[in-house]
Amino acid sequence: MQMPITFYYQNTHTSAYELLLHAIQQSACHALTQYYDAFTIDVYALLDKPRSKIVAIDWDNTITADLVFYRQLIDTYQQYGWTPIICTLRSPSLDNLTEIRHALERHDISIYATDGYAKQAFLKRHKIDVHLWLDDYFPAICKEGCALLRQNGITYNNPH
Ligand SMILES: [Mg+2]
């Protein structure tokens, strides 16, 4: 049985968000919350650059948590003019890339393997701005207290 995934989103309702919300509603399994509570959230949907058309999706414990759901979501994003990409902390070894490529073989999608480097800075070096991040582990994207996390209501370093 598919384990339910709780997504977090707390920002402007862009069309990339609306497509995600629709997919969650269609799933009849997954849920969305706007309350930041690390104990109940499985995947963070974080709005970054509003004008970008890129949706960067993590691999481990994000897509792998429901491959069928994300295949459909990737299809939907592509149909509506978005450019989904895979961005993983994994090293860009042939084995790693082959595994991901194989699972998504029906999809024409770019894979960025940062080899442990923070994803936002890594993609910026490739001149890629991201509209929406989907990731189970937000510290992979940028470090504590960074603007992206603050803009998305994540203030986990707040001493209060
Ligand atoms: Mg992950």
Q: With 0-12 CB in 10 A as exposed, 13-18 as middle and 19+ as buried, what is 38?
A: exposed
Domains and CATH numbers, the chain: 6-151 (3.40.50)
CA of 133 to the centre of ligand 1 (A): 11
Residues 153 and 33 sit within 8 Å (Cβ to Cβ): no
User: What tens digit of pLDDT does each residue of 142-155 get?
Assistant: 998 899 999 999 98
CA of 123 to the centre of ligand 1 (A): 16
pLDDT of residue 160: 46
Q: How far apart are CA 105 and CA 53, in angstroms?
A: 22
Q: Which residues are registered as beta bridge partners of 57?
A: 86, 134
* Backbone φ, ψ for residue 111 (5° rounding): -120, 125
CA of 91 to the centre of ligand 1 (A): 13
Percentage above 90 pLDDT, the chain: 91
Length of the chain: 160
Q: How far apart are CA 3 and CA 107, in angstroms?
A: 24
Q: Please tell me the pTM assigned to this model.
A: 0.95
CA of 15 to the centre of ligand 1 (A): 24
CA of 59 to the centre of ligand 1 (A): 6
